[in-house]
């Protein structure tokens, strides 16, 4: 493991924040697959595994966007979820 070299306070207005999340969502009926695909597409999420009874998707986005996606997917029952912490980098190299 690499030691921490530097810690900086970042300006919110100049900083890009992102998280990665993986969801496995229950599919109860055929129409669920199409609806979940439409939701995933609206958020720019990637489908990694589509089965008869579940769909796995991935999204890298802001924490707010991930929260919004999670809220929409909860209608279908989220079976599993794995989420990274927030990564941040300030624009312009300052």
Token look-up 């909860």 returns 74
Burial classification of residue 69, based on how many CB atoms lie within 10 Å of its CB (0-12 exposed, 13-18 middle, 19 or more buried):
buried
Domains and CATH numbers, the chain: 12-93 (3.30.70.1150)
Residue 1, classed as helix, strand or coil, is coil
pTM (2 d.p.): 0.84
pLDDT in tens, 5-35: 888 888 888 999 999 999 999 999 999 999 9
Token look-up 């929260």 returns 67
Which sign, positive or negative, has the C-alpha torsion 81, 76, 47, 24? positive
How many C-beta atoms surround the C-beta of residue 65 within 10 A? 17
Over residues 25-46, mean pLDDT: 97
């Amino acid at each position: 493991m690499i030691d921490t070299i530097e810690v900086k306070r970042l300006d919110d207005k100049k900083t890009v924040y992102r998280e990665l999340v993986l969801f496995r969502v229950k599919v109860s009926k055929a129409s669920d697959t199409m609806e979940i695909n439409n939701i995933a597409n609206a958020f720019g999420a990637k489908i990694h595994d589509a089965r008869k009874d579940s769909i796995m998707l991935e999204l890298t986005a802001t924490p707010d966007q991930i929260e919004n996606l999670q809220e929409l997917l909860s209608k279908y029952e989220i079976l599993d979820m794995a989420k990274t912490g927030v990564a941040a980098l300030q624009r312009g190299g300052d």
